[in-house]
Structures are given as C-alpha cells and as structure tokens.
Amino acid sequence: MKQRLQKTVLLAAAAFAIVSAPALAQTATSAADYQAVIEASKSENGLLVYSNLPVSTWTEFRKLLSQTYPWVKMETTDMGAEMWERYFAESGAGTRTADLISTVAPDRYANFIDRGEVNPYVSREIDSLPKWSRPEPGLYTISASPAILVFNRAQVKNPPKSIRDIAELAKADPKGMNGKISTYDATTNSFGTAMFATWLLGEGNSWDILAPIGAATRPEQGAGVQREKVMTGEYNVAFFFNSVSLVPLERPEVKKLVGWDYLADGTPVTLQNIVVTKAAKSPNTAKIVLDLMLSREGQIALAKVGLTPYRDDVPQDGLPYPTLKTAAQKIGEKNLIYSNYDRSKLAEWPAIVAKFATLFKK
C-alpha cells in the first residue's frame, strides 16, 4: 500500500511538472526544466513577433530555427510605433497578440515594463551576455548597432571621423556647407531623439559642439532618403545612421560614391531589444526562440543579414559586416555609448527635442 501511494505521488508530481511548464519556464535553470519548456512549446500555436525589422531580416534565423525547433512556425511583422497600441488593444480584448516584441525604442520599452507587460524570463544565455545588453529584467538585446556617419566621396576630400569634425567642416565653410548636412529629425522621429540623447551622454559632448552643425543641417525622417541624397551629392555628410544601413552602403555601386565611419567622439549604440510579452499565447515557444536569438548561433545568423552581433564568442571571420567587437577595436570601447533606460534620463527627452528644434531649424 505504501509503495502504491509513493508511486501515485511520483506520477502526480510528474504530471504537475508537465502541466506547469509555463511556470517552470520562468527560470528553467536545469536541463530537465528546459526540456519541459521545449516539450510544452510543441502544443502551442506558432509564434507571433512584432518588430520594426524588415521581414527579410529574419531569413537566416528562420533557417536556424527550422533546424533547431522544426515545429515552430514564426510569423513576423514590419511595424513602427503602432505596434505598441496594437498590442494593448489586442491584449485588452483577449485576442492573439505578439508573443515577442523587438524594436529599438528605450522610451517605449520603459513604459511597457512599467505597465507590467514584460515577462521577466531569465534566459539560459544570460551568463554569456554583457550587463548593458540586459538593462531590465526580461529585456534583452539581439543586436547592438553602432551609429555611423556617411559622406559623399567626391564632395568631401578629408572625411570627418567625429561630430567635432563635422562641426569644423560647417564652421570652415558656412556658406558652402549650408544645407549640405543631414541627420534624423529628432522632433518627429524618436530614433533621432534617442541618437542625440545617447551621444550627449558621452564625456565632453554638448549642444555647443552641435550648434554649428545645426545651422547647416536639413533633418530628414529616415536613413533611406539621406543615403540617396548623399549618393547624389545633395548632401555632403549625414550622421547618426544605424549601422543596419551598412547593408546598402556596402553594395559596390553605392560604395564607390559613399564612404562611412564610426564616430570617434562618441558612437551611440542602438540596442535592438526583445521581450516576451505578458499576453503571449505561446509563452514557451517565445522563450526558446528568444534564447536561440541570443545564442552564439543565433547571433551569427542575424549578423549575416546586417544586424550587429555583440557576444564575445562571435568571430568576425566569415561575417559580411563588422561585429561590435570590431567597432570597439577601431574606435575604443570607451567611445561606445549604449542606449540608456534610466527613467530620469528618459525624462530629459522632451527637453532634447525642444533644443534640437531650436538649433536644427529647417
């Protein structure tokens, strides 16, 4: 009787472990726990990812995913700021919404976290990730892109290597450089706001340095327009490009017209973040796919299409674009300035937008 009772208890415990797989996935510290998460994902209905990245960005990662977890069907979107309101509307109605959200908006993520919408999942890759890449519980980085400046090779004989160099170009020839510089419009583009806010965190960086640039600058909404106008010579220089732009910039027909470099006086590093959402309908699938993105193999797959890998164990050899380590070796680790999620710093964004509007008059 006693043996039968012990057997019943053990069977009940095993059944509980399977039923409770989502709870186990919160930490999944043991191999057995993690296997339970994997098994639970098989009964979930695919994976929905809301992202600002083009669908083509996921091409190589999908190949890795199909080899690793062949039952997972991942659907991705290419969305802007509307992803957040869409998520809130769908989750509020109890309908299917994003299992994972990946974008580059520190202010939006801070709000999302403060509203309790992030699952504080502890990734099994966490010990292989630098602290700056996981700034909040449950918030991770799949790509860390150093900002770059670009220039027209024919128009600019001595290419700038920093914001200060661009300022010197503007001061040396105010008439000739008037309207010949471009950057993101921080008054209407939160990515632009983030770039300026991050650069200003650098030692010695200030609005005084930016002032001569502002007078000569025509801000734009996106990198594509800036790139085309630098190619044609309408702009001599543009700065604060996301290094995802290296994909078109490295095309032979573009490369002969346009050069690029990192910013030696402070390179803002954009964090392409990702979270498992509280309202995820496929939470176990979201967790194992998140871990795969953060893994060495996942980072390499994403790097092949232009995202910037930051893990120390990802080699430059064999990758078409620079890793974060390569950028750090070129300009120095101290010149990489990472996106900041401190709420007091984010509270300064409205003042930054107002100052930008004053200096960078259209």
Say how far apart CA 260 and CA 243 lie, in whole Å.
10
Q: Pick the last residue of a domain from 12, 27, 43.
A: 43
Helix (H, G, I), strand (E, B) or coil at 175: helix
Which pLDDT score is estimated for 258?
Answer: 96
Asked whether residue 212 falls in the same domain as residue 123, the answer is no
Say how far apart CA 249 and CA 223 lie, in whole Å.
11
pLDDT in tens, the chain (362 residues): 434 434 333 333 333 333 334 434 445 568 999 999 999 999 999 999 999 999 999 999 999 999 999 999 999 999 999 999 999 999 999 999 999 999 999 999 999 999 999 999 999 999 999 999 999 999 999 999 999 999 999 999 999 999 999 999 999 999 999 999 999 999 999 999 999 999 999 999 999 999 999 999 999 998 899 999 999 999 999 999 987 889 999 999 999 999 999 999 999 999 999 999 999 999 999 999 999 999 999 999 999 999 999 999 999 999 999 999 999 999 999 999 999 999 999 999 999 999 999 999 76
Asked whether residue 345 falls in the same domain as residue 248, the answer is yes
Asked whether residue 257 falls in the same domain as residue 279, the answer is no
Asked whether residue 109 falls in the same domain as residue 159, the answer is no
Say how far apart CA 49 and CA 31 lie, in whole Å.
26
Asked whether residue 48 falls in the same domain as residue 186, the answer is no
Contact between residue 171 and residue 296 where contact means Cβ atoms under 8 Å apart: no
* pTM score of the predicted model: 0.89
Which two structure tokens, joined as six digits, stand for 243? 């290094």
Range of the domain at 79: 44-143+270-324
Asked whether residue 206 falls in the same domain as residue 355, the answer is yes
Asked whether residue 225 falls in the same domain as residue 110, the answer is no
Contact between residue 281 and residue 100 where contact means Cβ atoms under 8 Å apart: no
- b/e 139-177 (16+ beta carbons within 10 angstroms → b): bbbbbbbbbbbbbbeeebeebbebbbbbbebbeeeeeeb
Which pLDDT score is estimated for 243?
Answer: 78
Asked whether residue 252 falls in the same domain as residue 132, the answer is no
Which pLDDT score is estimated for 346?
Answer: 97
Tally of domains within the chain: 3
Asked whether residue 217 falls in the same domain as residue 332, the answer is yes
Which pLDDT score is estimated for 14?
Answer: 39
Helix (H) or strand (E) holding 336: strand 336-338
Which pLDDT score is estimated for 245?
Answer: 86
Asked whether residue 244 falls in the same domain as residue 274, the answer is no
Which pLDDT score is estimated for 242?
Answer: 85
Q: Helices then strands (H, E): number in the chain?
A: 18, 10
Asked whether residue 333 falls in the same domain as residue 276, the answer is no
Asked whether residue 334 falls in the same domain as residue 195, the answer is yes
Scan for tokens 């400046």, then name that residue.
149
Say how far apart CA 37 and CA 176 lie, in whole Å.
62
Task: List the CATH number of the domain containing 49.
Answer: 3.40.190.10
